Chains A and B, each alone.
Chain A
Amino acid sequence: KAGVTQTPRYLIKTRGQQVTLSCSPISGHRSVSWYQQTPGQGLQFLFEYFSETQRNKGNFPGRFSGRQFSNSRSEMNVSTLELGDSALYLCASSRDRGGQPQHFGDGTRLSIL
């Protein structure tokens, strides 16, 4: 059974640009959550999607948005990138809404120059 797949693995952008990250959950998993991981702050929850609807949201500005498609794949978008957005972005899936444990992908490492 394939795990959670995130693309791209690495991304370099400059300030002011926007970026879209993709996550394909484990087959049969309908909940997808996104996290930002930085050395200073650890893993911080961004949002959770279930059945194409955002169900839960963390404390991030509106520049961070996402969506989920009917096949449960999810995308996360960050607009007007700032230096502080440099981080590892992790996606996790679970079978049900808010289900535990979640299964994580390898992440997308985003660097802002």
Chain B
Amino acid sequence: GENVEQHPSTLSVQEGDSAVIKCTYSDSASNYFPWYKQELGKRPQLIIDIRSNVGEKKDQRIAVTLNKTAKHFSLHITETQPEDSAVYFCAASIYNFNKFYFGSGTKLNVKP
């Protein structure tokens, strides 16, 4: 089955700096890669996703890049703000198959 690894497990940045979270996956059939943000005591919520036919996707301060050959994808957050502090999960899935494999999460702390 699919194995998703996520690094780092914790990340502390100064407000205004950039944050990068990286994930690798093992199953070359995976073609859908969502990122979820989970604030303390709240449910995970989708913040951005990318399909394997795209190399990069941006949404305001958030971007995701995908390298299919190397089987890794990354989340980039620019101009970080304290409200970005949360746990971020990457996941890999096969389009049209209802199986999601999540990374272990990255706790991001943005210091004001």
Our verdict on whether A and B bind, yes or no, reads: no
- Chain B residues proximal to chain A, CB less than 8 Å: none
Interface of A with B (CB < 8 Å)? none
